[in-house]
């Protein structure tokens, strides 16, 4: 009874907290403050690039349509919207520049603003300009479309459906607690005269407990489904629109201005278009692969594969990945699907490069070598472990437990949040495991694959 009341109180409190959080205005507070550290790190990383390249890369990294560099005198020296170059800050933004403050102000634009050759904002359109001071540079000016922020803000107005569900569940549980109290009081009186009525009361309590558990599971499932749907819609909007716009506008610039461009400018533009095109292709491929696997499953056929053939095939398919084999497993043979294993190792390496690694190595060994911070699949007792080692920034401790779930990403990181989810499905299909160790100096994803009892003399995987 006490537990039921506590659960009911928790559900109602959760509904209140959820409503307050969902009602917080979009486009304020930590939304921009969080971008400041990411902007500083990205600006430092691109310090050797031309200003034009820097603002384009920052625009993509921060998911902001207009990014400008501001010098000490308040003049915009470079911008992803070229016709903003030379504009001077004024009023509150100028005060922020002089004092090194984080400042934001909504104001209408005076002239049309073009981005990648397309007029995005007309005179009178209101932008939310955010000035962010940076260490080692004077600052950034990030421009957000106020109409879009207001639309997102309006979508949060009023009582949220999840709030109603949670509060309703809490009230229902409170009602259960009240009924339970009344039932038990009556039962104590009836126990004096009837053992049969005591059994009826026990059965009734069991039914109430079952109903409560079912209600809690339904509530949790509804909240998780709503969260995944919302994150998927936002991911599609942010992750597909930016590379697609870059490919289209870059191609148009090459068509219209190709003869007047220098070779360096043309090559830089082609590199950006190619990178965004590959990114778009990879995002679409990931989503189609997940849909196909969830609808049809994975039909891998395992057979004995020599370790040497795995590393040789990996070196040929992905030259930027270095490989190595511990002597103890140099002649070992694993039982797996060769295509599935190759796809899994390449997927983990690509995921590491996507999240900031500059170097990735795949080493085959006979032991795991560390205590996993997270693990999926079933670790083989007698297996070979392919350690995918990178020098990236590592995985946040509070994110590790969710890293292999669908659409899970850290903050505003790029990508679909499907890379490690796909890896989990693939390793489970081949009967292996993935064990994770991570820190500020890099991450190790150890793929455990069962050994084969057979000996194979040929080194070919196919």
- 385 has a pLDDT exceeding 90: yes
430 vs 3: which has the higher pLDDT: 430
* Predicted pLDDT at 24: 47
Examine the pLDDT at 247 and tell me if it is beyond 50.
Answer: yes
State pLDDT tens for residues 24-57: 444 443 345 455 566 666 666 666 678 777 788 7
Split at pLDDT 50, 70, 90, the class of 271 is confident
Three-state DSSP state, 158: coil
In what order do the strands lie in the sheet containing 374-377?
A: 321-325, 360-365, 383-390, 442-450, 433-439, 374-377
Structure tokens at 44: 């430092």
pLDDT, tens digit, 9 for 90 and up, residues 336-368: 888 888 888 888 888 888 888 889 999 999 999
Higher-confidence residue of 256 and 414: namely 256
Q: How many CB atoms lie within 10 A of CB 7?
A: 19
What stretches of 15-112 adopt beta strand conformation (E)? 66-70, 76-79, 103-108
**What mean pLDDT do residues 391-403 have?**
86
- Assigned token pair, 108: 């209408």
259: tokens are 């003869």
Higher pLDDT, 453 or 221: 453
More confident residue, 11 or 432: 432
Q: In CATH terms, is domain 30-154 a member of 3.30.450.20?
A: yes
Nearest to 45 by CA among 392, 401, 456, 407: 392
Q: Which uninterrupted H or E stretch holds 151?
A: helix 146-155
Per domain, the residue ranges of the chain are: 2-22+156-281, 30-154, 303-450
User: Class for domain 303-450, per CATH?
Assistant: alpha beta
């Amino acid at each position: 009874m006490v537990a039921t009341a506590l659960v009911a109180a928790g559900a109602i409190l959760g509904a209140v907290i959820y409503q307050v959080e969902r009602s917080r205005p979009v486009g304020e507070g930590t939304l921009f403050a969080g971008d400041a550290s990411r902007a500083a790190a990205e600006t430092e990383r691109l310090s050797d690039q031309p200003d034009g390249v820097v603002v384009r890369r920052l625009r993509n990294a921060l998911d902001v349509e207009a990014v400008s560099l501001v010098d000490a005198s308040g003049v915009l020296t470079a911008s992803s919207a070229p016709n903003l170059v030379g504009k001077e800050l004024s009023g509150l933004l100028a005060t922020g520049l002089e004092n090194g403050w984080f400042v934001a102000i909504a104001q209408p634009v005076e002239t049309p603003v073009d981005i990648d050759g397309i007029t995005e904002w007309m005179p009178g359109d209101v932008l939310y300009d955010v000035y962010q001071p940076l260490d080692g540079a004077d600052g950034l000016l990030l421009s957000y479309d106020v109409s879009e922020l207001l639309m997102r803000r309006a979508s949060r107005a009023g009582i949220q459906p999840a709030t109603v569900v949670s509060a309703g569940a809490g009230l229902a549980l409170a009602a259960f607690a009240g009924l339970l109290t009344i039932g038990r009081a009556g039962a104590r009186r009836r126990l004096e005269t009837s053992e049969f009525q005591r059994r009826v009361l026990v059965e009734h309590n069991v039914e109430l407990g079952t109903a409560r558990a079912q209600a809690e599971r339904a509530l949790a499932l509804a909240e998780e489904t709503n969260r995944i749907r919302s994150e998927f819609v936002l991911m599609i909007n942010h992750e597909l629109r930016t590379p697609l716009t870059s490919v289209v506008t870059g191609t148009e610039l090459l068509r219209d201005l190709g003869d007047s461009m220098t070779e360096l400018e043309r090559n830089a533009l082609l590199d950006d278009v190619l990178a965004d095109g590959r990114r778009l292709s990879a995002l679409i491929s990931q989503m189609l692969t997940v849909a196909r696997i969830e609808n049809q499953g994975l039909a891998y056929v395992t057979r004995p594969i020599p370790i040497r053939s795995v590393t040789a095939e990996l070196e040929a398919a992905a030259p930027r990945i270095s490989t190595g084999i511990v002597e103890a497993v140099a002649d070992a043979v694993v039982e797996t699907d060769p295509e599935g294993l190759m796809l899994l190792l390449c997927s983990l390496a690509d995921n590491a490069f996507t999240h900031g690694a500059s170097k990735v190595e795949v080493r085959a060994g006979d032991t795991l070598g560390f205590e996993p911070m997270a693990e999926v699949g079933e670790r083989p007792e007698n297996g070979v472990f392919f350690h995918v080692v990178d020098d990236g920034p590592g995985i946040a401790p509070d994110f590790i437990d969710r890293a292999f779930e669908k659409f899970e990403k850290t903050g505003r990181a790029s990508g679909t949040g499907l890379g490690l989810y796909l890896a989990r499905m693939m390793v489970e299909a081949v009967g292996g495991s993935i064990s994770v160790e991570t820190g500020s100096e890099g991450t190790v994803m150890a793929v455990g694959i069962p050994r084969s009892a057979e000996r194979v003399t040929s080194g070919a995987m196919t």
